[in-house]
């Protein structure tokens, strides 16, 4: 059990589990709906659940844990208003979440692990390795805490922060089910994107269990040789197997995949490599999200030059792909892609 509390972590429960828990406390089942609603409004204590009898609130306080995260620091970008939150977990570990503002609404990027064991060569999040998985409640509370801070529900969630989501699949799936539940936060699956570095069993299971949620795959290379240099996961789940799994995913779900591709100067950003990527992805319904590398101290890589980024995009578009360049948000507060860390500032 994570943290110091031996109380039941009710924010990680499904609605049906919460009903059983409420009944175990000697209360009527309908009370579970009230508790579920309050939790998804982001309340931080049972005392705030004002339509519950005082005696029941006291029972809950004795038996249950709300897993409310503490905001340790908040940084706001002077460039674009991006907000980066450093959250303290109940056991003293830290994770980061980032709120990004777009014309179509607010998007929060959330974490699923404290630390990461994937070891991608360009990413700050894996420094120090994996500390532990987050509970479903801790994943959810990032969304609730940001919504509370903004005074309104966030519009979209991207599970792209610290950690590999499919390395914590059980808690990820509970989080997705709970945030989607109309008795609580009620977020559409179509407003959620989950990103993986290529855990193939997770992709296969995700296709069956959450076909409406958008899948993003961190590809970052036009061939197996370069991907193997950048991403150790390729040793376990090789490039060709990943592409085969992606094709099966599209066939099963009839949904396009987003392939994320970080452009690193002199490594994977040439027009020839763009042509190679176009051939590699032939026949896969997809969108290619090009991401200029956000520099991470000590990694030894540099961002592709703007003209190279444009040329790479043009080559893909000429080959019939929808390829966009991700807006660089929050880079002045280390809140951009690949810059998040699970440590105190």
Confidence of residue 326 (pLDDT cuts 50, 70, 90): confident
The percentage of the chain sitting over the pLDDT mark of 90, rounded to a whole number, equals 83
pTM: 0.92
User: Average pLDDT, stretch 79-101?
Assistant: 92
- Beta pairing class for 105-109 and 64-65: unpaired
pLDDT interval class at 6 (50, 70, 90): confident
Nearest one of 112, 115, 111, 119 to 130, comparing CA atoms? 115
Task: Render pLDDT for 210-225 as a digit per residue (tens, 0 to 9).
Answer: 999 999 999 999 999 9
Q: What is the pLDDT of residues 216-262, one digit of tens each?
A: 999 999 999 999 999 999 999 999 999 999 999 999 999 999 999 99
Task: Give the residue extent of every domain in the chain.
Answer: 8-65, 70-333
Separation of alpha carbons 160 and 153, rounded Å: 19
Q: What CATH number is given for 70-333 in this structure?
A: 3.20.20.70
Residue 338: per-residue pLDDT: 44
Rounded Cα distance, 284 and 250, in Å:
7
CB atoms within 10 A of CB 176: 25
12-29 average pLDDT score: 97
How many Å apart are CA 41 and CA 16, to the nearest integer?
A: 19
pLDDT at 264 over 80: yes
Instruction: Answer with the residue of higher pLDDT: 64 or 293.
Output: 64
Q: How far apart are CA 34 and CA 37, in angstroms?
A: 5
Catalytic residue numbers, as ranges? 96, 337
Instruction: Tell me which architecture the domain covering 8-65 has in CATH.
Output: Orthogonal Bundle (1.10)
What mean pLDDT, rounded, does the chain reach?
92
Question: What is the C-alpha separation between 175 and 193, in angstroms, rounded?
Answer: 13
249 CB-side CA count, 13 A: 32
């Amino acid at each position: 059990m994570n943290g110091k509390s031996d109380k039941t972590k009710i924010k990680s429960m499904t609605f049906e589990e919460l009903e059983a828990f409420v009944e175990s406390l000697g209360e009527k089942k309908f009370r579970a709906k009230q508790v579920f609603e309050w939790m998804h409004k982001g309340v931080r204590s049972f005392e705030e659940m004002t339509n519950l009898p005082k005696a029941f609130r006291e029972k809950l306080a004795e038996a249950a844990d709300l897993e409310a995260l503490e905001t340790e620091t908040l940084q706001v970008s002077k460039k674009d208003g991006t907000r980066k939150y450093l959250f303290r977990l109940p056991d003293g570990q830290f994770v980061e979440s980032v709120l990004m503002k777009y014309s179509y609404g607010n998007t929060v990027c959330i974490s699923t692990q404290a630390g990461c064991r994937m070891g991608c060569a360009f990413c700050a999040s894996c420094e120090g390795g994996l500390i532990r998985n987050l509970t479903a409640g801790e994943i959810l509370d990032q969304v609730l805490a940001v919504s509370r801070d903004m005074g309104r529900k966030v519009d979209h969630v991207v599970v792209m922060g610290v950690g590999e989501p499919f390395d914590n699949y059980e808690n990820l799936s509970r989080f997705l089910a709970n945030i989607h539940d109309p008795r609580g936060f009620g977020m559409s699956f179509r407003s959620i994107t989950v990103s993986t570095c290529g855990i193939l069993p997770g992709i296969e299971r995700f296709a069956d269990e959450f076909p409406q949620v958008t899948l993003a795959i961190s590809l970052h290379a036009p061939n197996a040789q370069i991907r193997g240099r950048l991403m150790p996961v390729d040793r376990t789940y090789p490039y060709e197997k990943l592409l085969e799994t992606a094709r099966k995913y599209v066939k099963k779900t009839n949904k396009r995949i987003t392939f994320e591709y970080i452009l690193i100067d002199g490594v994977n950003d040439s027009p020839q490599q763009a042509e190679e990527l176009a051939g590699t992805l032939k026949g896969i319904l997809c969108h290619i999200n090009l991401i200029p590398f956000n520099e991470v101290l000590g990694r030894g890589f540099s961002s592709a030059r703007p003209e190279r980024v444009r040329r790479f995009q043009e080559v893909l578009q000429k080959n019939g792909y929808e390829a966009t360049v991700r807006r660089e948000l929050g880079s002045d507060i280390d809140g951009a892609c690949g810059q998040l860390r699970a440590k105190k500032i």
